[in-house]
Structure 1
Amino acid sequence: MTRWALLAAGVATLALPPILPERYLATFVLLLLAATVTVGVSLLMGYAGQVSLGQASFYAIGAYAAGLLSVHGVPSLIALAVAPVVAAVAAVLLGAPLLRLRGHHLAFATLAVQLILLSVLAQADWAGGAIGLQGIPRLTVLGVELRDVGYAYAAWVVLAVALLISRNVIESRAGRGLRAAATSETAAAASGVAIGRYRLAVFTLSAAMAGLAGGVYAFYLGYLSPGSFPVLLSIEFVVMAVVGGLGTIAGPVVGAAVITVLVQVLNTLGTQPGMPDYAPSVLSYAVYALVLIVCVLYLPRGLVPALDRLRATRITVAERADPARTGP
């Protein structure tokens, strides 16, 4: 997918919030926030070669940081700005020891971090405990208190910033070094690539993106609880990144759109009369597993690279059928 196509799609979405029904507007906001987190996951997995199953923990850290600060009188815009900083600091403290691990060891370690965080939040009275943090004020920008449509545009801006940063990182020297490290650590190290430093930087950047999205999430809902950030949410972010295409600009957005719509359909199906209470959760896990299996078998690089290959193939076939296009 070209840069211009992504830009055109982004501009087109600006017209959606005012015309969307309220029930779909909430889905739209959550989709944009999930895409923002997935941008960081795609960077981490697609370029740094590291698998994180605990990205929702940084989403939660950013949300609780913004929520707690605003509840205690800090202006909401400042609280939102602090949210990614707190998530980034947590990532530095956790990433320094965790990134020494590789493969499934790192994945399990990040999963353990989220489980520990959820346990701490559930027991912490200062965070609202299991009941949750209530009374979070609405986000105020330039004296204007945001409503539903305003949050849609705020989430859009957050996603645009994440995509811009991601593109700059990919095209930078650090991005080339990360691609080299993901291919062969030995060769990259021999070429002078500071693998450990680069990976920690990307881990921190991905956490900051999740923290920023979490801040908007806190103000949008006005309420937070440990149950808002289940382990399934981290798995969902990974599935979005894999489905859309790891290491691509448009992949996280496409993957988030596909999975979010799919989750909404499954929730609707699972809440139909006669369905058991556990149906939505079971359906979600089953479909995530099925989607991952299908992608690994038939679309190992994700939807966006597959669509790019299909487009390139069609152009090649057209040029062969009409040699005049390519000139003498």
Structure 2
Amino acid sequence: MRWIPFVLAAAVVPVFLGPGQLTVYVLLGLSAMAVVGLSLLMGYAGQVSLGQASFTAIGAYTAGLLAVHDVPPLLGLVVAPVAAALAAVVVGVPILRLRGHQLAFATLALQLILLSVLGDADWAGGAIGLQGLPYLSVFGFELNEDLHYAYLVLLGVVLTAVVASSLVRSRAGRGLRALATAPVAAEASGVPVGAYRLLVFAVSAAFAGLAGGIYAFFVGYLAPGSFPVLLSIEYVVMAVVGGLGSIAGAILGATLITLLVQALTSLATQPGMPGYAPGVLSYAVYAVLLIVIVLFVPRGVVPTLSRRFRRETSPGRPAPVDPAPARARPGAGR
């Protein structure tokens, strides 16, 4: 119930936005969908992934390839998260045995390999990419305006938030909370650590795949350059800034960073700025943001504000323990 006012406010906003602003709104929502899953993965399973955008690409290319082969676009959108989740299961079995920086580099390598394959594959359009993708149509209604996709993305964000919240509150979620705080003790208590980590990895990939499927029909064009490594880094920054393990934090982090990216892009494309300015500014600002967050609000913005609010509204009482983990613990336990 507490989400309803925010959802209603988000539903009203697109009506007052112009074409360019609606595009930012859609991209913001797509990022939020991918980051909700990544926040669960890093916050509960303690796995640091630098390849979340690879699952966005898998979902986008799955939907795009099905569409160009005359499969109904709606069916392609449904298959997109399934394909991303299956890919996560296949690659997750070996790579989730890694820990810390080894896992981070493995997921980064996964994205680099995927981009290389897509760039050389004729069936995927190669470096030119897939062009002329149709608009998404739902039961005969064609989504051919940015406003339509704004509401579709809002529906996707609500869906991912509901699924993530249900997962956290389920029996598996209780095991994940135990895994996040004390992985060795959780394993000793009979929690299937490997299975739960693989589950969260697959769910996280499915969220990113759904975002990729919507992106394919919204843009109408796909190329390997649409999913750079920088996009995966953006997702990590969004999750850390908002607060790992927090659904609201993931959405807030996606909002803040997306707006920041737009501001940096506008600044870097001013007359007189060198061509490499957008990339340099992005990496520099992300590095500064991560340092500031780790030093001053290591739990992230939303968990920190929530904890402070509870402390101020309940004077004299000890602050309740936050069920969400404070931060990822990629090096803990096996």
What is the TM-score normalised by the length of structure 1? Answer: 0.94
After superposition, the Cα gap between the structure-2 partners of 1:175 and 1:145, relative to the gap in structure 1 and judged at 3 Å, is: same
Corresponding position: 1:38 with 2:38: no
Q: In the alignment, what sits opposite 1:260?
A: 258
Please report how far the alpha carbon of residue 51 of structure 1 lies from its aligned counterpart in structure 2 after TM superposition.
Answer: 0.6
Q: In the alignment, what sits opposite 1:16?
A: 13
Higher alpha-carbon Rg: 1
Q: In the alignment, what sits opposite 2:150?
A: 152
Q: In the alignment, what sits opposite 2:324?
A: none
Q: In the alignment, what sits opposite 2:222?
A: 224
Cα distance in 1, alignment partners of residues 261 and 82 from structure 2: 30
Unaligned segments of structure 1, at least 5 residues: 320-328
Please report how far the alpha carbon of residue 132 of structure 1 lies from its aligned counterpart in structure 2 after TM superposition.
Answer: 1.0
Please report how far the alpha carbon of residue 176 of structure 1 lies from its aligned counterpart in structure 2 after TM superposition.
Answer: 1.3
Q: In the alignment, what sits opposite 1:292?
A: 290
Cα distance in 2, alignment partners of residues 25 and 35 from structure 1: 15
SS at match of 1:250: helix
Cα distance in 1, alignment partners of residues 68 and 26 from structure 2: 22
What is the TM-score normalised by the length of structure 2? Answer: 0.93
Please report how far the alpha carbon of residue 303 of structure 1 lies from its aligned counterpart in structure 2 after TM superposition.
Answer: 0.6
Corresponding position: 1:143 with 2:134: no
Q: In the alignment, what sits opposite 2:234?
A: 236
| Matching residue within 113, 118, 122 for 1:121 | 118
Percent identical among aligned pairs is 62
After superposition, give the CA deviation of every residue in 1:218-244 in whole Å (9 maximum; x if it has no partner): 000000000000000001001000000
Please report how far the alpha carbon of residue 317 of structure 1 lies from its aligned counterpart in structure 2 after TM superposition.
Answer: 5.4
Matched residue type, 2:277: A
Q: In the alignment, what sits opposite 1:54?
A: 51
Matched residue type, 1:198: Y
Cα distance in 1, alignment partners of residues 70 and 16 from structure 2: 34
Cα distance in 1, alignment partners of residues 27 and 80 from structure 2: 18
SS at match of 1:193: coil
Matched residue type, 2:14: P
Corresponding position: 1:83 with 2:80: yes
Q: In the alignment, what sits opposite 1:184?
A: 182
| Matching residue within 37, 62, 67 for 2:64 | 67
Please report how far the alpha carbon of residue 248 of structure 1 lies from its aligned counterpart in structure 2 after TM superposition.
Answer: 1.1
SS at match of 2:222: coil
Structure 1 outlier segments of 4+, above 6 Å: none
Cα distance in 1, alignment partners of residues 16 and 231 from structure 2: 28
Please report how far the alpha carbon of residue 184 of structure 1 lies from its aligned counterpart in structure 2 after TM superposition.
Answer: 2.0
| Matching residue within 239, 250, 253 for 2:248 | 250
Please report how far the alpha carbon of residue 315 of structure 1 lies from its aligned counterpart in structure 2 after TM superposition.
Answer: 2.1
